[in-house]
Amino acid sequence: MNLVLLTHEREVDRPTNTGLLALNAFPQWCRRIIWSRVSPDLALIELISSHSAAVLFPRPKLLCLSEGRCDADGIGEPEPTENTQDQLYLEYMPDTLIILDATWQEARKMMRQSPYLKAADKFALTEQADSGFTLRRNQIEGGLCTIECIIGLLELKNKHQEVELLTQAFHAFQAGRQSG
């Protein structure tokens, strides 16, 4: 399993960035690329174009704001005609996954403003527990933070030691931020 954290530029220095936990623990299979609307990473575009990777993103029905408002496709205005987004969801986990490492609002913007991400194959976690992430406001119902997504992927791959390590790191991270 290889993970690419496609990180919004504002997320890089946020003290609440949970993607760093995986980057620090597992640099051998987790790397970061800074997202750019105007200068996308060419190697990433090639990876997506060759169908060698998929973007981890919830299926449209899971993209509802906590106030109960939902978008049909999760990335903007509802599409009046057929929704082709659903056809892009893989039923199997590819070897390489791209995770949008950002707030939910920023992740949706990244998807909306990046044609290559919109066109990419997608993969969704099917069994979603409620997020335990308490350090940010305005979270999307059913939305997980970056490290929770990674833990979910590791669970699918039966990587129990890695799950335990990241779960402990996540709990310590939150406890440290809440007390400090």
d(CA 11, CA 32): 11
The helix (run of H) or strand (run of E) holding residue 145 is: none
Provide the pLDDT for residue 137. 57
Exposure class string for 35-54: b at 16+ Cβ within 10 A, else e: beeeebbeebeebbeeeebb
Q: In what order do the strands lie in the sheet with 122-123?
A: 30-34, 2-7, 96-101, 53-56, 122-123
d(CA 109, CA 36): 11
Q: How many residues does the chain have?
A: 180
CB atoms under 10 Å from CB of 113, counted, come to 14
Provide the pLDDT for residue 127. 67
Q: How far, in Å, are 37, 50, 117 from residue 108 at the CA level?
A: 13, 23, 11
For the chain, the structural domain boundaries read 2-179
> What are residue 122's phi and psi, to 5 degrees?
-120, 155
Provide the pLDDT for residue 175. 87
Q: How far, in Å, are 76, 132, 160, 178 from residue 107 at the CA level?
A: 11, 19, 28, 24
Provide the pLDDT for residue 105. 87
pLDDT one digit per residue (tens) for the chain, 180 residues: 999 999 999 999 999 899 999 999 999 999 999 999 999 999 999 999 999 999 999 887 644 444 444 454 444 444 433 344 445 899 999 999 999 999 888 999 999 999 999 999 999 998 666 666 655 555 555 578 899 999 999 999 999 999 999 999 999 998 887 665
Provide the pLDDT for residue 142. 58
